[in-house]
Amino acid sequence: MFSHIVIFWTKPGLAHAADELLAGMERYLKPIPGVLSFHAGRMAPSHRAVVDQTYQVALNLVFPDKQAQDAYQVHPLHLEFVDKVFKPVCERVVVYDFE
């Protein structure tokens, strides 16, 4: 298994940025072949100080292996998502990949 976790910070002042980001993930990323598990959602508030609550949206994808994730990265739908959705609404992203 290969996990690909992406944390998104949306641009301040864009009231519907999180909604646009989540809708774009459903439209462009979810259908890409090789994704075994797709989970996207908003930051869940917590009373625990150890929980990062500075971001707005997270994406958790599981692939069978790193090669499938590498193919996902260059898939036309992923590239379209980056240009049409991510760049207009996000100011920062952090990625965590692990096997």
16-67 pLDDT per residue, tens = 999 999 999 999 999 999 999 999 999 999 999 999 999 999 999 999 999 9
Find how far residue 40's CA is from the centre of its chain.
7
Report the predicted TM-score, pTM, of the whole model to 2 decimal places.
0.93
User: In the structure encoding, which two tokens stand for residue 51, read together?
Assistant: 């929980």
- Domains in the chain, CATH or no CATH each: 2-44+53-98 (3.30.70.100)
- The secondary structure of residue 65, as a DSSP letter, is S
Helix segments in the chain, DSSP class H: 17-24, 66-74, 76-81, 87-89
